[in-house]
Amino acid sequence: MNSPDPSRQIADLQDHRDRMLLDGITRSDDDAFAELFRRYGPQCLGLATRVVADRTLAEEIVQDVFLGVWKAASRYDPARGTVRGWVMMQVHHRAVDVVRREQAERRRNSNQLPPVNERDVEDVVEESWMAARRQQVRAAMNDLPEEQRTVLELAYFEGMTQAQVAAHTGLPLGTVKSRTLAAMRKLNQSLAEARAT
Amino acid sequence: MTHLDNEQHIAAYLLGSLDEGERRRAEPELIEHIAGCDPCRELYVALKETTSDLALVAEPIAMSPEFEDRVLGAVRAEGVDTLAARRAQRVPKFARKALVASIAAVLALSGTTAYLYSSRQEERRLQQQAAAIIHDPAAAHVDLCKEEARCNVSVLPSGKGVLVAANLPAPPEGKVMELWLLKEGIPTPAKVFEGVRGQVWLLFEVAPGHYDHAAITIEPGPHGTQRPTGPMIYSGELTA
């Protein structure tokens, strides 16, 4: 029998707690909502800001997503992943939609990226497991070959379609597809190894 | 599409990097392919978790008090998911008697539980113990019923409890169902069992305490696990 993976156990317990919070939200428990919002709001805001490059727009996205969680927490299906993944995916999809509608593109061109100031980052209060996980993910990203990391960042954080990534990098579409898959596989493997150590 | 095409589509789909038309075309093919291809299903599950982790690369940003107030205020002003609220609402005190009666009714009907017990006399003795727990005023109860399945859990502060269930779907081959009691999010394994076709009641005993939730997950058989690893199929709040 494999030895238990402590970080996996912590993540499982966190997800259990998250599911309990969702359970509370379905019963209109606004304290449960506030706990979930404070737990993941900063990360959601960081993700949305990174994608749309506009703090105000990012706040609107995060607000919309969390209002959706409040109104339809029962739509969460445990079989399809963690609560954190479910919320982050919604934020990412909304942010990418915004980018693709080119509303943010104009801001992106005119503003460039000063939306995150150091004070905002320093003021973040988060649980240690999430900070530890972030370190693992960043290390795994840094370990990717640059050409793989580039396609991943353009797709996920810039909200580009694969055709747009190909146009942006000048690579053939097939190469973009194969590099994206290779990058995701390597990232997954590195994270699995990081969890096991 | 070739197998490799599908793998590439899984990565692109999860990253959100298919355009709207591609996504609409790829989705049904992916669903069909994943359903019949174990390696792709495993890849999908693994990369989905990886995509979720990718969000952590972005620097978190502290929420201003104004933003927090705006969202929390908007939530308080909004309606709720009324369907979910109806389904999962707390058991009002006046309904407690009805809940106890309904669990007891299932218990009384559970003549099909003999497979667990070596003799009719033994079954009768255990049934009386179960009834005593259910009717104990100190017991906390939860109704985990969903669709056709009936599933009620009653537990005493002493840690003694009973699970009364009917028509629970069988878990996949090699898997079992595991009942957990939770206190502030910390799960304690309470009982491992298989699918229930008829009606069944199962006694269990855990460490004494005031547990706040019960949940059932699918776990590797035949002995289950000490920590939940599988999907949660039922969960609910224990109310006194």
**Chain A contact present for B73, CB below 8 A:** no
Query: CA of A171 to nearest chain B CA: how many angstroms apart?
Result: 16
Range of the domain at B11: 3-57
Same domain? B194 vs B110? yes
Taking only residues 22 to 61 of chain A, the set having a beta carbon closer than 8 angstroms to any beta carbon of chain B reads 23-24, 26-28, 30, 33-34, 37-38, 41-43, 45-47, 49-50, 55, 58-59
* Residue ending a domain, choose from A69, A92, A125: A125
**Chain A contact present for B58, CB below 8 A:** yes
Number of domains in chain A: 2
Query: CA of A182 to nearest chain B CA: how many angstroms apart?
Result: 9
* Residue ending a domain, choose from A125, A157, A175: A125
* Residue ending a domain, choose from B13, B41, B57: B57
Backbone φ and ψ of B238, nearest 5°: -80, 130
**Chain A contact present for B91, CB below 8 A:** no
B192 inside domain: yes
Distance of CA B97 to the CA centre of its chain: 25
Distance CA A176, CA B73 (A): 44
pLDDT digits (tens, 9 = 90+) for A119-176: 555 556 556 777 888 899 999 999 999 999 999 999 999 999 999 999 999 999 999 9
Q: Do the beta carbons of residue B58 and residue A43 sit within 8 Å?
A: yes
Confidence category of residue B194, pLDDT binned at 50, 70, 90? confident
B9 inside domain: yes
B148 inside domain: yes
Range of the domain at A41: 1-125
Q: Say yes or no for a CB contact (<8 Å) between A72 and B81.
A: yes
**Chain A contact present for B188, CB below 8 A:** no
Residues of A in contact with B58 (CB under 8 A): 43, 46-47, 49-50, 157
**Chain A contact present for B77, CB below 8 A:** no
Which three-class secondary structure state does DSSP give residue B7? helix
CA angle, residues B83, B85, B87, in degrees to nearest 5 = 70
Same domain? B41 vs B113? no
Same domain? A13 vs A80? yes
B76 inside domain: no
pTM for the whole thing?
A: 0.59
The pLDDT of residue A193: 87
Same domain? A9 vs A68? yes
B163 inside domain: yes
Same domain? A100 vs A174? no
Residues with pLDDT less than 50, chain A: 1-4, 104, 114
Same domain? A77 vs A155? no
**Chain B contact present for A82, CB below 8 A:** yes
Which three-class secondary structure state does DSSP give residue A101? coil
CATH code at position A90: 1.10.1740.10
The pLDDT of residue B104: 52
Tell me how many residue pairs between chain A and chain B have CB atoms under 8 A apart.
214
